[in-house]
């Protein structure tokens, strides 16, 4: 009985997180179109990449004039953290067989947070699946709605929609930057160091490359 309650609570948490965060797909759809991507390209990104921060980074770099290779490289660097999440969740979720491929696609910030917050393995699996399913469906539907709606506006930059991507990306990062203690301090140090590297590199490199170089700040902080 107690175990059933824990699973039910985990599912409720997962659904709430998935639906709430999934609405940000509207902003990504608008940002992708503003950056110069097509509606199908925006939708394919959400279907196959499915990691919001990386998708916003790719759209931002491409919209600033960078080529797709540099933009994709920056997105991959940012999405690399999901590999570390996967290592942590592998022992907790204990998913075997072909389902591991599907589960790997769902390893992102939100699914990891919900799963790790549960008191036992069964609740963790229930929370992970609920978060993944609700967020994936909502994110892709809202991406389509945001991209399709923005495509009818002519020049989205006239309405100020070119600021949607950076603003949403900052909103995603803000909870980490304002976190108390060492975690927030390290995040702020990373943010300042990365911004400094990107700003210094901007006059000398094509769009998209300064974002990649800013990742060097992570190595510096790790060594420190």
Torsion of CA 46, 20, 63, 155, to 10 degrees: 110
Mean pLDDT of 17-26: 86
Q: Does 193 map to a domain?
A: no
- The rounded distance, in Å, linking the Cα atoms of 6 and 66 is 47
Q: What is the pLDDT of residues 98-145, one digit of tens each?
A: 889 999 999 998 899 889 888 889 999 999 999 999 999 999 999 999
Q: What is the pLDDT of residues 177-199, one digit of tens each?
A: 666 666 667 777 777 777 788 78
- Least confidently predicted of 145-149, 196-200, 211-215: 211-215
Q: 95 pLDDT exceeds 80? A: yes
Q: Tell me, what's the pLDDT at 113? A: 87
Q: Tell me, what's the pLDDT at 44? A: 93
Q: Does 147 map to a domain?
A: yes
Q: What are phi and psi of 155, to 5 degrees?
A: -95, 105
Q: Does 116 map to a domain?
A: yes
Angle at 142 between CA 139 and CA 146, to 5 degrees: 135
Structure pTM? 0.75
Q: Does 203 map to a domain?
A: no
Domain count, the chain: 1
Q: Does 222 map to a domain?
A: no
Higher pLDDT, 221 or 13: 13
- The rounded distance, in Å, linking the Cα atoms of 173 and 208 is 19
Q: Does 125 map to a domain?
A: yes
Q: Tell me, what's the pLDDT at 97? A: 85
Q: Does 188 map to a domain?
A: no
Q: Does 13 map to a domain?
A: yes
* Boundaries of domain holding 31: 2-154
With tokens 């997105």, the residue in question is 75
């Amino acid at each position: 009985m107690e175990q059933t309650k824990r699973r039910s609570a985990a599912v409720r948490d997962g659904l709430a997180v998935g639906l709430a965060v999934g609405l940000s797909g509207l902003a990504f759809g608008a940002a992708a179109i503003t950056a110069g991507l097509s509606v199908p390209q925006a939708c394919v990104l959400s279907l196959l990449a499915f990691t919001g921060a990386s998708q916003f980074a790719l759209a931002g770099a491409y919209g600033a004039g960078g080529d797709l290779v540099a933009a994709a490289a920056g997105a991959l660097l940012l999405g690399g953290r999901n590999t570390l999440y996967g290592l942590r969740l592998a022992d907790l979720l204990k998913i075997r067989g072909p389902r591991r491929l599907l589960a790997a696609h769902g390893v992102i910030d939100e699914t990891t947070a919900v799963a790790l917050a549960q008191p036992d393995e069964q609740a963790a699996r229930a929370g992970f699946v609920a978060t993944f399913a609700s967020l994936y469906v909502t994110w892709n539907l809202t991406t389509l709605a945001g991209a399709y709606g923005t495509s009818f506006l002519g020049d989205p930059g006239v309405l100020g929609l070119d600021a949607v991507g950076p603003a949403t990306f900052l909103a995603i990062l803000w909870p980490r930057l304002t976190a108390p203690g060492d975690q927030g301090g390290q995040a702020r140090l990373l943010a300042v160091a990365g911004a400094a590297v990107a700003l210094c590199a901007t006059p000398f490199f094509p769009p998209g490359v300064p974002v990649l170089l800013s990742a060097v700040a992570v190595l510096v902080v790790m060594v420190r």
